Amino acid sequence: MIDTYGPWAVIAGGSEGVGAAFAHRLADAGLNLVLIARKPGPLAETAEAVRAKGVEVRTVELDLISPDPLKTVREVTDGLDVGLMIFNAGANSYGHEFVTGDLERFQGVIDLNITAQLAFTHHFGALMKERGRGGLLLVGSLAGYMGQAQISIYSAVKAFGRVFAEGLWLEMREHGVDVLELVLGVTRTPAMERAGLNMDMPGLNVAEPDDIAREGLEHLKDGPIWVAGGNYKAAQKRAGFPRDRLVSGAHEAMKKMLPDPS
């Protein structure tokens, strides 16, 4: 792995959950890491843990919806030979009906999942194209296969990410750069737990972060899309027709997962 994707990997959203699992697996493979995250505590904890495995680790405490986040990251990464960029940041779903919601909050969802992702992919992708090898792994969601109430903007930006990854894969494959959107279903992460989702509902397929990270790295060459956690059939179904029945049915199922508003 280090010959193709090393010696440095950048993980946006690398402090906990799936991002931390990526960090540990890449450190085990000998890659040095730049970890980017908003929360200083989990960021420092993960950095210390993977640094103990013998790799060099740099950290960037940063909110990716701040103005020009790439400028801040480049202060740390310019001069490094980055062979892998993982964009794992994107959990700010902001659940609210669109017409009564806060447009600034919705804009934040767009800025993180689209604007920041494009900036990072454009910068690191160009460097990888120039050197003729590397990997771009963009973490997506099953939410991007279907519109959903309360998170209509989040679903829309994840749909954008999936289609973007497909086009980017076509562009970069001729230059030795692998592109993969890793599509996640329900995953037992701290963010999901803080959201209060009922992950113990009978029949619900819940994946563990380390299993997701393993799948993503194992299938990085199998782009443009890899649906992780045993959710391939669910993605197929969500992409089908008729849309009214599928969207309504998924909405009723989702309501059982949401925390009791009372």
* Cβ-Cβ contacts under 8 Å for 38 (sequence gap 6 or more): 15, 61, 62, 63, 64
Q: How many residues does the chain have?
A: 262
How many DSSP H helices and E strands does the chain contain?
Answer: 11, 7
Pairwise CA distance, residues 258 & 59, whole Å: 34
> Which residue matches tokens 């969802």?
109
How would you class 75 by CB atoms within 10 Å of its CB: exposed for 0-12, middle for 13-18, buried for 19 or more? exposed
* Cβ-Cβ contacts under 8 Å for 108 (sequence gap 6 or more): 65, 92, 94
Is 154 annotated as catalytic? Answer: yes
Give yes or no for a contact between 5 and 131, defined as CB atoms under 8 angstroms apart.
Answer: no
What value does the CA radius of gyration of the chain take, rounded to a whole number of Å?
18
Angle, alpha carbons 11-15-17 (nearest 5°)? 100
5, 94, 154, 232: the active-site residue: 154
Return the H-helix or E-strand segment holding 245.
helix 243-255
Residue numbers annotated as active site: 154
